[in-house]
Amino acid sequence: MTAERETLYLLDGSSYIYRAYFAIRHLSSPNGFPTNALYGFTQMLLKVMKDRAPAHVAVVFDAGKITFRNELFPAYKATRSAMPEDLAQQIEPIKQMVRAFNIPALELPGWEADDIIGTIAKKAEAAGLDCVVVTGDKDLMQIVTEHVTLLDTMKDKSFGIPDVIEKFGVEPARVVDVLALWGDTSDNIPGVPGVGEVTAKKLMQEFGTLDELLARASEVKGKTGERLVEFADQARLCRTLATIDCAVPIDYNIDDFAVTPPDNRRLAALFREYGFATLLKDLTSSPTLSCDRYSLVLTEAELRELVAKLEKAPAFAIDLETTSLNPFEAAVVGYAVSCHSHEAYYIPVGHRYLGAPEQLSEKLVLELLGPLLADPNRKKIGQNLKYDYQVLQLAGVAFAGIWCDTMLAAYLVNPSRNSQGLDALALEYLDHRMISYAEVAGTGKCELNFSEVDLDRAGPYSCEDADATFLLHEILLPKVREQGMEELLFDIEMPLMEILADMELCGVKLDLELMKELSAGFGKQLIELEAKIHDHCGGPFNINSPKQLGEMLFERMGLAVGKKTKGKTGWSTNVEELERLAEQHEVARLLLQYRSISKLKSTYTDALPKLVDPRTGRVHTSYNQAVTNTGRLSSSDPNLQNIPVRGAEGRDIRRAFVAEPGSLILSADYSQIELRVLAHLSGDRVLSEAFASGEDVHRRTAAEVFGMFPELVTPEMRRQAKVINFGVIYGQGAFSLAKELGVTAKQAKAFIDSYFERHAGARSFLDSCISEAETCGFVTTILGRRLQIPEIASKNGNIRAFAQRNATNYPIQGSAADIIKAAMIKVCRRMREERVASRLIMQVHDELVFEVPENERELMEELVRSEMEGALPLSVPLKVDLNFGQNWAEAH
């Protein structure tokens, strides 16, 4: 019986570096270092090691551009553009990453990676090993044998001898003969002029070898035969250039390629340095949290002792374990607390499983622990405390003294972090991999409710959460202070958290009958639009199938040639393409309308009624306080901030957001808040004067840009001026502004130039934002909210331009976020003082929405206006548009 051969994996590092670079959009580390190629390459390496579990492995790189082939043919690879600067920066870190995996990284000056791979593959085969070359380079197909194969992990395809024959029409040994005729544009190997891929394969199949073909070139008819005679020497040179040299003088030993465990400490350091949080999560970190001082509290005496300890502590961390992530459905299973580093306690009250030990009653726990929870002078620490606050509120348990939410502190320190979750923060700041929920409760069909998890697993898991949270607050609060955001955390973000929690619990009432009518109406419109689209296209097809739609538009109807999809497998039918076509074709306009109504129907009129909570009869969204870079709130499950403002359909949906009987909806919307922020921050004289005098800023801008009296400005001119005003804030260039205005790029540039001639203060301020980012690496808002912009130093022009737009945009948008948050706090504080029954029910962009009993209408109008317009002191007046209505559309 033949012994099983071991396999050596040789990874073509140079090939994969480029593939990763172009396959992944721009990524950068927390300090702005480009990482897209590094990340993609690392993922590829991990995939090979995980999926293939090789016994031997090495990665091979090019050592430089100059090789022996350049001496033979100076123009070899001369047409290749220089390596992008941001890719060149990643080469050495990629090699460091390979070495951290304890994998040899091979290179040899004067030789290409292909030559080293060919040499090692042949010697490995002679030594009795199989060899798999991981590459996307077709040139390496010439070294394929029975025991040497290629693997393209990106296409998940292996190439053996039959695959090479299918690709080149000849066996591997004669691939170079085909390449000698066909040439290789990527390497600037010219081949024989006029001989392409098909002809090259056909000639080799007929004549067998290049030498035989050239010797009998006179037998080839026409121009091809003449060129074979004329360029015979060039063909032979091209064969030499394309031939992989399998005798490279590289010193190695196959045993050096034997797989050994990676250096996890080095890998963890690299993953942290380059911001690879996902990869770091999967890596086993060195444990930094000991569970030696984690305790279960099962007796009254233990609980009393713990309460006494908490009473003496300046602050303590708390984390609830519950039966559901939905606070309306959640029952408390246990309380985890920590008031000292590496010390935590778990008080179970609701674990129900066979053999569960006797636990303290929740009534007793709340009798002893409740006063501490309700004491506003006892500082509480938590991770995403909004959830714990809501669960306790719904259970009728007072919870005060909410002091520090580590999620919000981490968010202020780095709002760009992919995740502000406890697991990610523990990895980043504590170098500790948390016990996952799946590890204690299972997954899928086997997942247990936490109440069913035995205490041997639940205790350490829960204690670890409380301990990590306490440790994180000790690390994060000094960072918040160092960055000058202590007031922002304690005076804005923490008070706002409780307001958002109450808003979510309150929810908003929907007119379900109207929603049903709207859904039916949208359905009817879709049927009518579908019929019109089919008429234009000459027959029925599946409009919702991008493949069928692309074929219909660009192949059967022959409309203007569109873009291919990313995988080049079909036609792109995205909004951008349809908008381009809509300028000339009615069918594209109908398709855009169809998609818009279809989205409104599926996202709102069909979905929202299903999200009405049967216990409250209202829809309860979640406001995300730690997601956007700018500090703005976002909304999810459902997203109430994306309902279209313009258009009859969007207004119809807003009509379904109603007040309870006897109440009204009040909409309070800041007027042109971002332009007012720009006027304040920049001191721009023209803008400041316009706002101070109550002028229509957009009309004034139109008069300036178009050179006429304000009274002569048309509605269209005002619309264009509005686009220009906000385009300046968002850092729009002439090209994108032209597209939005429907004018030429030259006209758009003239508009921008004219604007900045009049608004020198705005121009100076925006330039100063870029300078601040370049000098400090960050920009700030009115309240000191900070955004790091490390990409401002990138050598890649596109990335740097994007960073510059962020540098000018962030202080304005972030300051607007500061104002709306400050307004929410002031309004709600005043509402408490006035003891009104009115409720704040929604926050949407620059708008606050209230549900107001009719008898509080006048009071709330004065209260909301005064508090919102006085939210923060600015050099220009803040203006709020207030309107009441039976529903949101009427009030907006």
- 639 belongs to a structural domain: no
User: What tokens does 762 get?
Assistant: 């705005």
**Which CATH number belongs to the domain containing residue 526 in this structure?**
1.20.1060.10
Residue 370 shares a structural domain with residue 313: yes
Strands 130-134 and 148-152: parallel
- 323 belongs to a structural domain: yes
Residue 307 shares a structural domain with residue 363: yes
| Tens digit of each residue's pLDDT (9 = 90 or more) over 630-657 | 999 999 999 998 888 777 888 999 999 9
The rounded mean pLDDT for the chain is 89
- 417 belongs to a structural domain: yes
Q: What's the mean pLDDT in 503-522?
A: 96
Please indicate whether residue 584 or residue 609 has the higher confidence score (pLDDT): 609
Residue 61 shares a structural domain with residue 128: yes
Q: Is the pLDDT of residue 567 over 50?
A: no
**Which CATH number belongs to the domain containing residue 368 in this structure?**
3.30.420.10
Residue 400 shares a structural domain with residue 537: no
- 855 belongs to a structural domain: no
- 864 belongs to a structural domain: no
Strands 56-60 and 7-12: parallel
Residue 249 shares a structural domain with residue 301: no
**Number of domains composing the chain:** 4
| Tens digit of each residue's pLDDT (9 = 90 or more) over 119-152 | 999 999 998 899 999 998 888 988 999 999 999 9
Q: Which of 14-18, 57-61, 838-842 has the highest mean pLDDT?
A: 838-842
Fill in the DSSP letter of residue 510.
Answer: E
- 13 belongs to a structural domain: yes
Q: Which of 567, 589, 608 is the last residue of a domain?
A: 608
| Tens digit of each residue's pLDDT (9 = 90 or more) over 244-288 | 888 889 888 888 899 998 888 788 888 888 888 778 777 755 566
Quote the longest CA-to-CA distance of the chain: 105
For residue 285, the model assigns a pLDDT of 52
Residue 246 shares a structural domain with residue 373: no
Residue 122 shares a structural domain with residue 16: yes
Q: How far apart are CA 576 and CA 561, in angstroms?
A: 14
Q: Is the pTM of this model over 0.75?
A: yes
Q: Is the pLDDT of residue 492 over 90?
A: yes
- 277 belongs to a structural domain: no
Residue 743 shares a structural domain with residue 804: yes
Residue 451 shares a structural domain with residue 523: no
For residue 560, the model assigns a pLDDT of 64
- 804 belongs to a structural domain: yes
Neighbouring-strand partners of residue 159: 150
> Helix or strand or coil: residue 348?
strand
For residue 284, the model assigns a pLDDT of 57
Least confident of 105-109, 145-149, 286-290, 386-390: 286-290
Please indicate whether residue 727 or residue 877 has the higher confidence score (pLDDT): 877
User: What tokens does 520 get?
Assistant: 């039916």
Q: Which of 76-85, 564-573, 592-601 has the highest mean pLDDT?
A: 592-601
Write the single-letter amino acid at 681: L
Burial 78-106 (b: 16+ CB within 10 A, else e): eeeeeebebbebbbebbbebbbbbebbbb
Categorise residue 133: left if φ over 0, alpha if ψ from -120 to 50, beta otherwise.
beta
Residue 53 shares a structural domain with residue 182: yes
For residue 32, the model assigns a pLDDT of 78
Helix H or strand E encompassing 635: strand 634-636
Q: How far apart are CA 804 and CA 769, in angstroms?
A: 8
Residue 668 CA: distances (Å) to CA of 622, 815, 821, 846:
20, 18, 14, 8
User: What tokens does 370 get?
Assistant: 């409740």
**Which CATH number belongs to the domain containing residue 124 in this structure?**
3.40.50.1010
Q: What's the mean pLDDT in 196-219?
A: 83
Boundaries of domain holding 581: 508-608
CB contact at 8 A, 294 and 462: no
Q: How far apart are CA 432 and CA 281, in angstroms?
A: 9
Is the bond leading into 638 cis (omega within 30 degrees of zero)? yes
Residue 405 shares a structural domain with residue 477: yes
Residues 6+ apart with CB under 8 A from 775: none
Q: Which of 761, 785, 809 is the last residue of a domain?
A: 809
Q: How far apart are CA 321 and CA 453, in angstroms?
A: 11
**Which CATH number belongs to the domain containing residue 762 in this structure?**
1.10.150.20
Q: Which of 809, 842, 859 is the last residue of a domain?
A: 809
Residue 476 shares a structural domain with residue 513: no
For residue 147, the model assigns a pLDDT of 93
Q: Is the pLDDT of residue 359 over 60?
A: yes
